[in-house]
């Protein structure tokens, strides 16, 4: 069996909406020596802004290299020392190495369906009540 490690950069378009004080209008006046755009940009760069929305723009492949399974496991333990210390080789392989035919998109879609149906079933059961006991006040 051959294994290839693919290094990527994952990119997101992040969007923030920042409230700006009224006196940030003219850099020469007031206590702020910047424009509203600069004030908002500083808030974002300093990581003080709440995320408004995001969109994943995809992944850019930076490098690829063939490696052995043992090298892949060793790299995982180096990259993820806290988890790698406790997981045995089989657990690392099962959870972190993509086997032939695997589709993460399909796996996530199936998990989302199970969650949605499970959640809907829980709501139905939660709303179920025994009418002989007096209605909604006396859930089963």
Does residue 69 sit in the same domain as residue 136?
Answer: no
pLDDT-above-70 percentage for the chain = 80
Does residue 78 sit in the same domain as residue 110?
Answer: no
Does residue 64 sit in the same domain as residue 12?
Answer: yes
- The dihedrals phi and psi of 139, each to the nearest 5 degrees, come to -65, 150
Q: What is the pLDDT of residue 84?
A: 87
Domain housing 133: 103-140
The residue-averaged pLDDT of 81-100 equals: 94
Does residue 23 sit in the same domain as residue 72?
Answer: yes
Does residue 30 sit in the same domain as residue 56?
Answer: yes
Write the pLDDT tens digit of every residue in 5-63: 999 999 999 999 999 988 887 666 667 778 899 999 999 999 999 999 999 999 999 99
User: Is residue 81 pLDDT above 50, yes or no?
Assistant: yes
Give the count of domains, the chain.
2
Does residue 108 sit in the same domain as residue 94?
Answer: no
Q: Cα–chain-centroid distance for residue 113? A: 18
Does residue 93 sit in the same domain as residue 117?
Answer: no
Instruction: Kindly provide the residue ranges of all beta strands, DSSP E only, lying in the chain, ordered along the sequence.
Output: 3-15, 53-67
Q: What is the pLDDT of residue 140?
A: 47
Does residue 95 sit in the same domain as residue 114?
Answer: no
Does residue 74 sit in the same domain as residue 132?
Answer: no
Does residue 13 sit in the same domain as residue 80?
Answer: yes
pTM: 0.62
Mean pLDDT value across the chain = 86
Does residue 58 sit in the same domain as residue 112?
Answer: no
Rounded CA separation 35/24 (Å): 6
Residues 42 and 136 sit within 8 Å (Cβ to Cβ)? no
Residues 112 and 88 sit within 8 Å (Cβ to Cβ)? no
Does residue 75 sit in the same domain as residue 128?
Answer: no
**Token duo for residue 98:** 């993509």
């Amino acid at each position: 069996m051959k294994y290839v490690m693919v290094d990527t950069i994952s990119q997101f378009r992040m969007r923030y909406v920042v409230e700006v004080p009224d006196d940030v209008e003219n850099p020469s006046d007031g206590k702020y020596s910047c424009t509203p755009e600069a004030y908002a940009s500083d808030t974002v760069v300093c990581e003080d802004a709440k995320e408004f929305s995001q969109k994943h723009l995809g992944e850019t492949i930076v490098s690829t290299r063939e490696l052995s399974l043992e090298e892949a496991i060793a790299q995982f333990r180096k990259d993820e020392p806290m988890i790698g210390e406790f997981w045995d080789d089989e657990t690392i392989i099962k959870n972190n190495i993509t086997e032939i035919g695997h589709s993460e998109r399909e796996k996530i879609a199936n998990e989302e369906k199970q969650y949605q149906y499970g959640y809907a079933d829980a709501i139905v059961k939660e709303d179920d009540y025994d009418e002989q006991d007096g209605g909604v006040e006396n859930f089963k």
